[in-house]
Amino acid sequence: MKKLIITTLGALVAAPAAHSAETLNIYNWSDYIAEDTIAQFEAATGIDVNYDVYDSNEVLEAKMLAGNSGYDLVVPTSDFLQRQVAAGAYQPIDKSLLPNLVNMDEDIMATAAGYDAGNEHSIVYLWGTTGIGYNVEAVAERLGADMPIDSWELLFNPEIVAKLADCGVSMLDAPTEVVPAAMNYLGLDPRSTDAKDFEAAEELLTSIRPHIRYFHSSQYISDLANGDTCVALGWSGDVFQAQARASEAENGVEIGYIIPKEGALQWFDMLAIPVDAPNPEAAHKFINFVMDAQVTADITNYVWYGNANKASMPLVDEEIKADPGIFPTEAAKEKLWAGMVYNARQDRSLTRAWTKVKTGK
């Protein structure tokens, strides 16, 4: 939430300043690029980059739907992208300007095309899953060392989560991610839009609500790393960042990430060019630059999210390639589900149920 608020406040005051042909305005997720990617692009092309960040799809969406954001390149998640494309927020991508497109993994691009027919408006930037991050030692201490950590049970079984409550349990503040996970745990279709299934999920979430310390979409990174909380329903790469921060701090906190055996949400963050982008040409140059095998490999090696760039795979660190939390096994892949695009009525009942779970009202 903290970044969310900064970006929300930023949204009110800080539309990017005037543009010359030499400027590219990028709006990306926080902590979502390698340290030197921008500098390399600037050196290679002579284009100045203004780089702003957000931590919620909702904030990005409000800007895209309001129009005149001033950004040339943004990174919505696939299900949000689909609705924004329907609203006319993005321009078609000119693939003749993207020679590096040959590097991309055709299977993943085809899956992503489910949200954007023919990948006409977007290219996969990175992808990941929504699973569970946990403090290995603190959880073992409370559940016993023999307890297998491989299931949504850790969060959604009231008896188990109750034992973890004292050391801090958090969830993303995103109903479209948490409610389907709850339905998945209950053995329902996570992509269901049936009101009864929403109700069942709401009931389950209400039953574990007393054990949840907070709902927030970025706070858990530092809290997990510092040992302030010990279980989080969160995004894969963010949990890996918590892991990296903890080991940098040498504070003795060891963080693990699992894709639960029941399945998990798989999402794609997509590079897209707003319809009113001041400098779409530079945006194409940047997309092509990112699709370079080495550049993408550097990004994955830094942020620990999977990419859709086949040519980059030989350059990705072995440790990352071998991690089933980042590149899941074939069996785990089969259980992943894709984000659902809800209509306005479904969105409203989901948000309402979410408020009810969080506040009891």
Partner 1 sequence: MVIAIPMIWLLVFFLIPFAVVFKLSLSEAAIARPPYLPMMTWDEEGILTFVLNIGNYFYLLDDDLYIFAYMQSMKIALVSTVICLLVAYPMALAIARANSSTRNLLLMLVILPFWTSFLLRVYAWIGILKTNGLLNNALLWLGLIDQPLAIMQTDLAVYIGIVYTYLPFMILPLYTSLVKQDESLLEAAADLGARPVTAFFSVTLPLSFPGIAAGSLLVFIPVVGEFVIPALLGGPDTLMIGRVLWSEFFSNRDWPVASAVATVMLVVLVVPIMLLRLAQQADEKKA
Q: Where along the sequence are the contacts to partner 1 (CB under 8 A)?
A: 1-2, 4-6, 8-9, 56, 58-59, 61-62, 64-67, 83, 86-89, 168, 173, 175, 212-215, 226-228, 275, 344, 347-348, 351-352, 354-355, 358-361
Cβ closest to partner 1, residue 41 vs residue 235: 235
CB-nearer residue toward partner 1: 168 or 306: 168
Q: Which two tokens stand for residue 170?
A: 């958090």
**Which residue, 67 or 148, has its beta carbon nearer to partner 1?**
67
Long-range contacts of 325-334 (CB under 8 A, 24+ apart): 325/129, 325/131, 325/236, 325/239, 325/240, 325/257, 325/258, 325/259, 326/128, 326/236, 326/237, 326/240, 328/129, 328/259, 332/259, 332/261
Least Å distance, CB 52 to partner 1, is 16
Looking at residue 352, the DSSP 8-state letter turns out to be H
Q: How far is CA 181 from CA 21, 26, 170, 298, in A?
A: 45, 31, 14, 31
CB of 169 to partner 1, least distance (A): 12
Task: Name the pairing type of β-strands 122-135 and 265-272.
Answer: antiparallel
Identity of the residue numbered 29:
W
Q: How far apart are CA 76 and CA 341, in angstroms?
A: 13
Least Cβ distance, residue 338 to partner 1 (angstroms): 20
Residue 230 burial (10 A CB sphere; 0-12, 13-18, 19+): buried
Q: Output the smallest distance, CB 344 to partner 1, in A.
A: 6
CB of 149 to partner 1, least distance (A): 23
Under a CB-based contact definition with an 8 Å cutoff, are residues 283 and 96 in contact? no
CB of 290 to partner 1, least distance (A): 26
Rounded to the nearest angstrom, the gap between the alpha carbon of residue 320 and the centroid of all alpha carbons in its chain is: 17
**Shorter beta-carbon distance to partner 1: residue 213 or 284:** 213
Cβ distance to partner 1 smaller for residue 10 or 256: 10
CB of 108 vs partner 1, minimal distance in Å: 27
Structure tokens belonging to residue 225: 């790393």
Q: Which residue, 7 or 309, is less far from partner 1 as judged by CB?
A: 7
Q: Which phi and psi (to 5°) does residue 192 adopt?
A: -65, 145
Report the nearest approach of partner 1 to the CB of residue 62 (Å): 6
Q: What tokens appear for 58 in the block?
A: 């909702």
Distance CA 133, CA 246 (A): 13
Give me 84's structure tokens.
């924004």
Q: Which is nearer to partner 1, 89 or 270 (CB)?
A: 89
Cα–Cα distances in angstroms (integers) from residue 191 to residues 236, 339, 340, in the given order: 20, 7, 6
CB of 58 to partner 1, least distance (A): 4
Q: Look at strands 255-258 and 122-135 and give their pairing.
A: antiparallel
Over its C-alpha atoms, the chain yields an Rg (Å, rounded) of: 20
**Of residues 217 and 241, the one with the C-beta less far from partner 1:** 217
User: Nearest distance from residue 163's CB to partner 1, in Å?
Assistant: 17
